[in-house]
Amino acid sequence: MITRYRIGTPFDMESVVVQLPVHDGALPGWETDAQNKCLTRTLAKSDIVYGLGESVRGINKRGWLYTSNNSDDPHHEETKHSLYASQNFVIVFSPDTKIAFGLYVDAPGKINFDIAYTDPDVFSISFEDFDADLYLVEAGSLKEIVREFRGLIGRSYIPPKWAFGLGQSRWSYMTADEVREVADSYDEAGIPLDMIYLDIDYMERYKDFTVNEEAFPDFEAFVKEMKDRGIHLVPIIDAGVKIEEGYPVYEEGIEKGYFCKKENGEELVAAVWPGTAHFPDFLNEDARRWFGDWYGFLTEKGIDGFWNDMNEPAIFYTADHLKEVFEGIRSFEGKNMDLRTFFGFKGLVASLENNPEDYRRFYHDFHGQKVRHDKVHNLFGYYMTRAAGEAFTRLRPGKRTLMFSRSSYIGMHRYGGVWTGDNQSWWSHILLNLRQLPALNMCGFMYSGADLGGFGQDCTEDLVLRWLSLGIFTPLMRDHAAMGTRRQELYRFKNTEAFRNIVGLRYALIPYLYSEFMKAVLKNDMLFLPLSFEFPDDERALTVEDQLYVGESIMIAPVYEQNARGRYVYLPERMKLLRFRSASDFDEEILEKGDHYVPADLNEVLVFLRPGHVLPLAASGARRVDEINEQDLTWFTFEGRPEEYELYTDDGISAIN
Ligand code: MIG
C-alpha cells in the first residue's frame, strides 16, 4: 500500500507514473517540524536503513549524512556526502518487530538524510525548501516494498541485449585507427567484445553532435565497418553546448531561446570542455524535444547507443563568477598575506568549479514557471536523459537504444541506466560498486555498472581481474579509464588467458543474466539483493555487506583485497559452490549453511547456487552477444530442475511496450 503525503507546494517532477490522491495530515511515524524544515523519527538500535541508490558507504546506510545534491566529484571517499545522483528512496527495517516501510521523498532541491549521524538514534530528513511529495510504502516484506515502489515510479529502462556484452572505453580513443586497433586486439586475444566507447575527442572541439572529420573520416562508413564486425560504437554527449558562431546547435538554441537564462534574461555563460558554453533548458518541454532531435545527427549515421555526461551539470566556471574571482585576486596584489588571507586568496580559484552560487544564477522554464536552477538542481541529468529517451522513440521507433547517464534522479530510470562516474583504481571501490548495486535497483536503476578497473589512477592486473569477478555480473559491463592513467584494455595484461576466460564466463552467463534482468524489470523486482532481503530472519545475513544474490538462483562473493587467496563467505542456506576458472573449467562442492573460508585464486570466480535452483550456462566461444547459442545450454543444478526455470528470451532489439 502506498500513501501520498505532502509538505508545502512541490513541483510535479514526473518521477512517478501513478497519480495518488494526497492524503491530508502529516506523515505518520515522523515528527514534522516546519520551522526547521525537517522530518524526524527515532531508530531502534537494530533498525537498518536501505536505499539512496548511488551513494557512498554501506548497504545499510545507517551512521552517515547523505546529501541529495548532484555533484561532479571524482573523489568517492567514504567521507563524502554527495555523488552524481539523487535517488531519495529509503527503506527502514526493524528486525525486532519485522516491520519495514519505504519512504520516497520526491523533491528536486537539496535534502539531507541524516541517518543516525548527528544523533545515533535519530533519522532526520531536512530540506532547503520544505516542499515535497512523500510516498509511504507499506508491505509485508522488503522485496514487496520495492515491488510496490517500482510500480509507482514505472517500468525501468530496457537496453538492447548486445549491451550486456563487454564494452571497452577510454578517455579517449583519438582516431578511427585507434578504435580499430582496440577491436583487432580484442579479437586477436580471443576476448569477447560488443562495444567500443567514444569519449569527448571524437567530436570537433567538444561540440555535441559533431564529428572530428580528420580523426574519424567518413564516420558513417566507419560505424558500419565496426557494426559489420559486430562492434557498436557508443559516443558520449555532454550537457554543455559550445558557444560558437556558425555552430548550428548553438545558433538554433539561441534563436529559439532554449538555453538557460539568468535573471536579466541573458543566457548563462558557463565553461565546460569546449570552453564557454550554454546549458539547454531540458526542463522545458520544447527545448527537450529540440535537443533530443539532435541525437538524430548520430543515429542517422548508424549509432545506436549513447552515454550522457557532465549533466549535474558540471561547471568549470561561469563567466560572472570568473570576473569576481579576478577582481578578488587583484585585491590581494602587493599585500602581505597572513595565514587567513593566504588561504582566502588560494581558495578563490578553487571556488570556481561547481560553485553553489553559480547554481543560483540561472533559471528554467519548468511547466511554464520560471524556476531558479538550485530549486530543481537534481533534475537536470534526469531531464537531459529524458530528452534523449523521448527522442529515440521518434528517431528509432520500435527499437531499443543504449542509453545511460552520469547524473540521475528517480524517474530517469524509465529512460536510461546509469554508470557510477569517476571512481578510482582502488580495491575499496570494488566494494563500493557492489554495495551500490542493490540500492540502485531499489530505486529503479537496473541497467547500471561502474567503470571496471577504476577510472582514475593506475590499475594493476590483479585489481582488474578481481573487479571483473564482480563486473561480469553487472548488466553494464564496461572497462573505462581516464586520460593519463595506465592502459587498462584487457588484452594489455600478461595473463590474457585469465581475461579471456573470465569474459567468456560472462558471455556464457548472459542467458541467465538477461533472463533475470528482464524478469526483474518486467515484475519490478531487483536483480541484486542484499542477503537480508532473502533472509530477513537470519541475524547474520542482516549484516553481510560484501555478498549479493543475483537473480533467483545464485549468490556472489567477489574477492576485493589485494593478494588474498580467497575470502570468508557467509551462507544463509546450504549451497552448491561453483568455482569457475572458465565457463567449461570449474569444480563444485556442497557447503552447509554458515561461515566458510573459500579459496579463490586470481583466475577463479565464486558462484553459489541455491538449493532448488538451476543455473543455465551457454557454451563458451561466443565473441559477440549475437553469437551466443541459447539452444545449447548446460544446466547446473542443485536440487532443482531445468524445466522449472523460466528462461526469458526475445530478439534483444525490439522495443517492449
Ligand atoms: O571531466 O569525457 O565521468 O567518464 O571519461 C571529465 C571525459 C569529463 C567525466 C566522465 C568520464 C569521462 C570524462 N568526463
pLDDT for the residue 10: 96
Contact predicate 318/268, CB 8 Å = yes
Reported as a single tens digit per residue, the pLDDT across 451-470 is 999 999 999 999 999 999 99
Residue nearest to atom 13 of ligand 1 (CA): 171
Reported as a single tens digit per residue, the pLDDT across 479-506 is 999 999 999 999 999 999 999 999 999 9
**Cβ of 106 less than 6 Å from ligand 1:** no
**Cβ of 422 less than 6 Å from ligand 1:** yes
Q: How far is residue 533's CA from residue 555's CA, in Å, rounded to a whole number?
A: 12
CA-based Rg of the chain, rounded to a whole angstrom? 25
Contact predicate 479/168, CB 8 Å = yes
Q: Is 300 helix (H, G, I), strand (E, B) or coil?
A: coil
pLDDT for the residue 312: 98
575 in a structural domain? yes
Instruction: Return the number of other C-beta atoms located less than 10 Å from residue 155's C-beta.
Output: 18
**Cβ of 552 less than 6 Å from ligand 1:** no
Instruction: Return the number of other C-beta atoms located less than 10 Å from residue 339's C-beta.
Output: 7
372 in a structural domain? no
Question: Quick one: how far is CA 585 from the chain centroid?
Answer: 32
DSSP per-residue codes, 38-87: EEEEE--TT-EEEE-SS-SS-SS-TTEEEEE---------TT----SEE-
Reported as a single tens digit per residue, the pLDDT across 37-62 is 999 999 999 999 999 999 999 999 99
455 in a structural domain? no
What size, in residues, is the chain?
A: 657
* Domain boundary residue, one of 102, 122, 153: 153
* Domain boundary residue, one of 113, 132, 153: 153
**Cβ of 73 less than 6 Å from ligand 1:** no
φ/ψ bin of 612: left (φ > 0), alpha (ψ from -120 to 50), beta (otherwise): left
Omega before 172 within 30 of 0, i.e. cis? yes
**Cβ of 240 less than 6 Å from ligand 1:** no
Which residues lie below 8 Å from residue 265, measured CB to CB, with a gap of 6+? Answer: none
Q: Is 467 helix (H, G, I), strand (E, B) or coil?
A: helix
φ/ψ bin of 488: left (φ > 0), alpha (ψ from -120 to 50), beta (otherwise): alpha
* Domain boundary residue, one of 107, 138, 153: 153
**Cβ of 200 less than 6 Å from ligand 1:** yes
The model's pTM: 0.98
Reported as a single tens digit per residue, the pLDDT across 221-241 is 999 999 999 999 999 999 999
Specify the CATH number for the domain of residue 639. Answer: 2.60.40.4040
602 in a structural domain? yes
Residue 241 alpha carbon to ligand 1 centre in Å: 16
Specify the CATH number for the domain of residue 131. Answer: 2.60.40.1760
Reported as a single tens digit per residue, the pLDDT across 120-175 is 999 999 999 999 999 999 999 999 999 999 999 999 999 999 999 999 999 999 99
**Cβ of 312 less than 6 Å from ligand 1:** no
pLDDT for the residue 590: 98
214 in a structural domain? no
**Pick from 83, 81, 64, 86: which is nearest to 73 by CA?**
83
298 in a structural domain? no
pLDDT for the residue 321: 96
Which residues lie below 8 Å from residue 33, measured CB to CB, with a gap of 6+? Answer: 39, 40
Residue 309 alpha carbon to ligand 1 centre in Å: 7
Cα→Cα distances 485→77, 110, 434, 464, Å: 19, 34, 23, 14
Pocket test for ligand 1, best of 170, 205, 236 (most atoms within 8 A of CB): 236
**Cβ of 573 less than 6 Å from ligand 1:** no
The three three-digit cell numbers of residue 468, written as one number: 571483473
613 in a structural domain? yes
**Cβ of 426 less than 6 Å from ligand 1:** no
> Is the pLDDT assigned to residue 620 strictly greater than 90?
no
Instruction: Report how many domains make up the chain.
Output: 2
Domain span including residue 569: 512-644
562 in a structural domain? yes
Least confident of 76-85, 327-336, 558-567: 327-336
| pLDDT bracket for residue 290 (50, 70, 90) | very high
